[in-house]
Amino acid sequence: MKSIALGAPLVHRNANSTRRKAISPIIATIILIVITVVAGAFLYVYATGMMHSGAASQVANVQSAALVVPGGTGPGTLTVTISNGGTVTIQSVNITNFAGTALSPAVQLITTPIAPGQSASGTVNIPGNRITSPSSLVAGQSYELQLTIGYANGQTQVITTSVTASEFGS
């Protein structure tokens, strides 16, 4: 058996063995660090996704809006139903604009809290309740309605919709 020593550890060779090559310890350390950083990045993305999935959401929808004008022309009654599709309680629903006229202060439509998954309705007379324009409603005509939804966490949502007046009775 022969030994070779030139500043390297002794390597014994025999006729049946082949020399194995290994990666250096520095390259092995770098590879382990890269694997750790990539695994940490995946864990971070997963954890932040889980945190955002439980975040509060504010989602209010107009379930229905009806504007009834008895006799076809004149004053009417507006009834709006709001559903809470989010995870935060709705504290208030206010009319901030009707038929292109800004209302200041806003007219309270619904004052009782609406829990998530629930709905509630509110009714106002038009004209009346600080809504003075238009002075006469016409059945068959559409009117734009802007609502401001106030949530228990202090956030607000503005919903704009239109409602078509209909004649009730004759």
C-beta atoms surrounding 148 within 10 Å: 16
**Contact call for residues 167 and 71 (beta carbons, < 8 A):** yes
∠ Cα 87 89 95 (to 5°) = 120
Task: Walk along the chain (170 residues) and give the pLDDT tens digit of each residue.
Answer: 555 545 555 555 555 556 667 778 888 899 999 999 999 999 988 887 766 656 678 899 999 999 999 988 999 999 999 999 999 999 999 999 999 999 888 999 998 999 999 999 999 998 877 788 888 899 999 999 999 999 999 999 999 999 999 987 43
CA atoms within 13 A on the CB side of 146: 13
User: Which superfamily does 60-166 belong to?
Assistant: Immunoglobulins (2.60.40.10)
Handedness of CA 139, 140, 141, 143 (dihedral sign): positive
Where do the H-state alpha helices sit in the chain? 25-53
Q: What global pTM score does this model have?
A: 0.67
Between the alpha carbon of residue 169 and those of residues 3, 66, 165, the distances in Å are: 113, 15, 13
